Chain A
Amino acid sequence: NAGVMQNPRHLVRRRGQEARLRCSPVKGHSHVYWYRQLPEEGLKFMVYLQKENIIDESGMPKERFSAEFPKEGPSILRIQQVVRGDSAAYFCASSPTPQDSPLHFGNGTRLTVT
């Protein structure tokens, strides 16, 4: 079984550009989570989505960041007008249920803003 697939693995953007990060969950998992990790730091929750719905976006910055998980296709984390402070590793995780289940993480997308 394929695990969580994230792409691209590395993404370089200039300040002001847009970054689009993709995540395909484990087959059969309908719960997707996005986390951000700065170097040498922990994982910071950003957003939790189910198919076509944002359930909890309490960790997402109010501006420039958005996420979606359409009925068909991968989940997308979109960052508009990127700034240097957005440079980080962004991990996507999926689970079959919202609680009591392990999170299956993808290998992450490392975003570098120049």
Chain B
Amino acid sequence: QQPVQSPQAVILREGEDAVINCSSSKALYSVHWYRQKHGEAPVFLMILLKGGEQKGHEKISASFNEKKQQSSLYLTASQLSYSGTYFCGTELPGANNLFFGTGTRLTVIP
């Protein structure tokens, strides 16, 4: 039930763009995205419900393709503060919890 994230790690220079992917083998009700900095709590970024919607949060946006059970997180014009590990969490219909992927470690360098 754990979603698969890719890539596992990515290094960007400030101002560059990145895409993080999350896929599930099961039909999803929603996808959540969180960012965790080292030694800290995960912080909520956004939720996407089935319907193929796209959401944005500053220069971070995401899409959800319910037919493919895939979600992508788009980071544009990356900033140093974007560094951290990004987790997607998938929610099944009628389920009571999120299953998190293994994470994508993003490092933004000057």
Contacts and interface: CB of A to CB of B under 8 A. Distances in A.
Contact of B97 (A33, A100, A101, A107): A33
Contacts of A59: 97
Interface residues of A, number: 24
Contact of B96 (A35, A48, A100, A103): A48
Given A42-B100, A42-B101, A56-B97, A105 B43 contact: yes
B41 A108 contact: yes
Interface residues of B, number: 24
A65 interface: no
Contact of B47 (A33, A41, A100): A100
A12 interface: no
Nearest to A47: B97
B96 A55 contact: yes
Contact of A106 (B41, B89, B96, B100): B41
Q: Which of A43, A44, A98, A108 has the most CB of B within 10 A?
A: A43
Given A42-B101, A56-B96, A99-B29, A91 B42 contact: yes
Given A102-B44, A108-B41, A43 B100 contact: yes
A102 B97 contact: no
A43 B32 CA distance: 13
Interface of A: 4, 33, 35, 41-45, 48, 55-56, 59, 91, 98-108
26 contacts: A41-B103, A42-B2, A42-B87, A42-B101, A42-B102, A42-B103, A43-B89, A44-B100, A45-B100, A48-B97, A55-B96, A56-B96, A59-B97, A91-B41, A99-B91, A100-B47, A103-B32, A103-B44, A103-B89, A104-B44, A105-B42, A105-B43, A106-B41, A107-B40, A107-B41, A108-B41
